Amino acid sequence: MELLLGGDGTGLRLNRPYRENLNESEILAVLDALFRRFAAERGPGERLGDFSLRVGLITPPVPNPVEVPHGTH
C-alpha cells in the first residue's frame, strides 16, 4: 500500500506520497505513530494535511502555473 498525506479540506491541495510499499502491519504502525504525533503537536484547528506539510512529513507541492491566453485578462 501507499500512504499519501497533505491534502487540504477544500480539495485545492492534493495528497502527496509519504510512504510506499507498506504491508498491513507496517501501515498500521506508521499511522499509529503519525496520529500520536499529530495529537501532541498540532496547532489549534490544524488539520492533518496542513500539519503534514508544516512539520515536513511531505514536500510542498510545486505550483502549476496556468497559462492565460493573451488578450483575455
Q: What is the pLDDT of residues 16-62, one digit of tens each?
A: 999 999 999 999 999 999 999 999 999 999 999 999 999 999 988 77
The residue among 41, 52, 42, 63 whose CA lies nearest residue 18 is 52
Confidence (pTM): 0.78
The ranges assigned to domains in the chain are 3-54
Backbone angles phi, psi at 43, to 5 degrees: -85, 165
Please enumerate in sequence order all residues whose Cβ is within 8 A of that of 50, keeping only pairs 6 or more positions apart, or say none: 8
